[in-house]
């Protein structure tokens, strides 16, 4: 049962910014906030529901430019939108694995970003697709690259009187492809023990652009710039993918939790990176797999012993 709280649902954006600056708890879909309040992890007594703010609503795809998504865009909208499957396949993969269908109808992209969880399924795909976020407040709008928006664990480049209003994702070229893999203990609703996203542009067998993003591999969702540098401008080959995977392992900083050891995550990073790069490159060459198959633990003999349950929580 939820504790008692005062609920505010403004329709005026300036008023909402003022309320946020006063310290009210901001809620969009509420799939994390209300759960935490129910579990007595969040003791907010004033909740600011922003679903009626038109500045955060709507989504469109503009040919030649890309996606303009309101922060209130739900994961289910992304999952069911054919444009996403066609041009942003990693984002489709990520959003379609968030919770249950019921959760995806409520959970928003803006909420996933602002929750700041390093395991968020939609963030890695948005990072490799070079997303930018628009934050708006009394002083106007600012556009911030998503990979610069996270400044620390659950910390962001946003002022107390600003809100994340929109997400902009450029249109990828025809010779591009992307993929996301979520490694879980079980093939059911679960947080990612590890998430790897990849984006590739391939021309004449050369990887002209490469981006890799990691989730649950550091305190924040992160790009693996070292691995990207290894890949960019190189002929596609198994050898170069292995070198990129080695760079990912050296750059990632996974930690131990009650769900997985840091050693287990580091061991996974290498092979999962190779798998997801293969799929992104295949899509760039227009020979995609029909379906991304979850990676079973059996693929990694001996890893079962690396799954202790340390005391530190996720």
Closest listed residue to residue 88, CA positions, set 182, 201, 166, 199: 199
Instruction: Render pLDDT for 186-205 as a digit per residue (tens, 0 to 9).
Output: 555 556 678 899 999 999 99
CATH code, 247: 3.30.390.50
DSSP annotation of 159 reads: -
Domain count, the chain: 3
CATH code, 100: 3.30.465.10
Give percent of the chain with pLDDT exceeding 90.
Answer: 67
Given 149, 170, 191, the domain boundary residue is: 170
List the beta bridge partners of residue 108. Answer: 74
d(C-alpha 227, C-alpha 240), whole Å: 10
Q: What is the pLDDT of residue 199?
A: 98
Instruction: Render pLDDT for 64-94 as a digit per residue (tens, 0 to 9).
Output: 999 999 999 999 999 999 999 999 999 999 9
Given 134, 153, 170, the domain boundary residue is: 170
CB environment 23-52: b (16+ within 10 A), e (fewer): ebbbbbbbbbbbeebeeeebebeebbbbee
Q: The domain containing residue 95 runs over which residues?
A: 54-170
Model pTM greater than 0.75?
yes
Q: 72: exposed, middle or buried (C-beta count within 10 Å: 0-12, 13-18, 19+)?
A: buried
d(C-alpha 300, C-alpha 268), whole Å: 8
CA dihedral 38→107→96→184, nearest 10 degrees, is -30
């Amino acid at each position: 049962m939820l504790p008692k709280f005062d609920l505010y649902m403004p329709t005026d954006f300036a008023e909402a910014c003022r309320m946020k600056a006063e310290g009210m708890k901001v809620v969009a879909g509420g799939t994390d906030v209300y759960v935490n309040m129910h579990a007595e992890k969040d003791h907010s007594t004033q909740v600011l529901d922003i679903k009626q703010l038109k500045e955060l609503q709507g989504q469109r795809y503009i040919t030649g430019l890309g996606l303009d998504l309101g922060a209130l865009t739900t994961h289910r909208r992304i999952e069911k939108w054919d444009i996403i499957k066609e041009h942003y396949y990693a984002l489709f993969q990520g959003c379609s694995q968030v919770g249950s269908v019921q959760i995806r109808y409520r959970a928003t992209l803006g909420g996933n970003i602002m929750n700041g969880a390093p395991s968020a399924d939609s963030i890695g795909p948005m990072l490799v697709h070079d997303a930018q976020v628009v934050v708006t407040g009394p002083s106007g709008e600012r556009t911030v690259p998503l990979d610069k928006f996270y400044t620390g664990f659950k910390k962001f480049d946003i002022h107390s009187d600003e809100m994340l209003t929109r997400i902009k994702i450029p249109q990828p070229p025809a010779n591009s492809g992307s993929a996301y893999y979520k490694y879980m203990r079980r093939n059911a609703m679960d947080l990612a023990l590890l998430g790897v996203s990849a984006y590739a542009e391939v021309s004449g067998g050369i990887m002209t652009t490469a981006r890799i993003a990691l989730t649950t591999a550091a305190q924040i969702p992160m790009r693996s710039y070292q691995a990207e540098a290894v890949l960019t401008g190189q002929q596609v080959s198994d050898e170069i993918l292995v070198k990129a995977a080695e760079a990912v392992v050296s750059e990632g900083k996974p930690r131990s939790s009650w769900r997985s050891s840091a050693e287990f995550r580091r061991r996974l990073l290498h092979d999962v990176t190779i798998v997801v790069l293969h799929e992104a490159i295949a899509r760039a060459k227009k020979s995609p797999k029909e379906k991304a198959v979850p990676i079973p633990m059996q693929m990694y003999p001996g890893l079962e012993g690396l799954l202790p349950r340390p005391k530190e929580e996720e």
